[in-house]
Amino acid sequence: MTQEISDQDQKDLNEVSQAVELEQQNELVSDLGESENNINANDNSVNKEEEDGSSIESPAPLDNEARLQQLEREYESLNSQYMRIAADFDNFRKRQTRDQDDLKVQLQCNTLSEILPVVDNFERARQQLTPEGEEAQALHRSYQGLYKQLVDVLKQLGVAPMRVVGQTFDPSLHEAVLREPSDEVKEDIVIDELQRGYHLNGRVLRHALVKVSMGPGPKDDDQNNIEVDEGESTQTLDSPEN
Confidence at residue 145, expressed as pLDDT on a 0 to 100 scale: 87
DSSP string across 42-104: HHHHHHHHHHHHHHHSTTHHHHHHHHHHHHHHHHHHHHHHHHHHHHHHHHHHHHHHHHHHHHH
Phi-psi label, residue 133: left if phi above 0, alpha if psi -120 to 50, beta otherwise: left
Confidence at residue 130, expressed as pLDDT on a 0 to 100 scale: 76
Distances (CA, A) of 186 to 27, 57, 151, 191, 192: 141, 99, 33, 10, 13
DSSP string across 135-155: HHHHHHHHHHHHHHHHHHHHH
Confidence at residue 125, expressed as pLDDT on a 0 to 100 scale: 82
Confidence at residue 198, expressed as pLDDT on a 0 to 100 scale: 93
Q: Is the dihedral of CA 22, 27, 30, 35 positive or negative?
A: negative
Domains of the chain, earliest start first: 109-128+140-219 (2.30.22.10)
pTM over 0.85: no
**213, burial (CB in 10 Å: exposed 0-12, middle 13-18, buried 19+):** buried
Confidence at residue 156, expressed as pLDDT on a 0 to 100 scale: 92
Measured CA to CA, the distance from residue 28 to residue 33 in angstroms comes to 9
Could you give the count of Cα atoms lying within 13 Å of 167 in the half-sphere of its Cβ? 15
Confidence at residue 212, expressed as pLDDT on a 0 to 100 scale: 93
| Length of the chain counted residue by residue | 242
Say if CB 208 and CB 195 are below 8 A apart.
Answer: yes
Q: Supply angle C-alpha 121, 127, 130, rounded to 5.
A: 120
Say if CB 187 and CB 152 are below 8 A apart.
Answer: no
- Per-10-residue mean pLDDT, the chain, length 242: 52 63 64 62 58 51 82 90 92 92 89 90 81 78 86 91 91 91 88 91 90 78 48 40 40
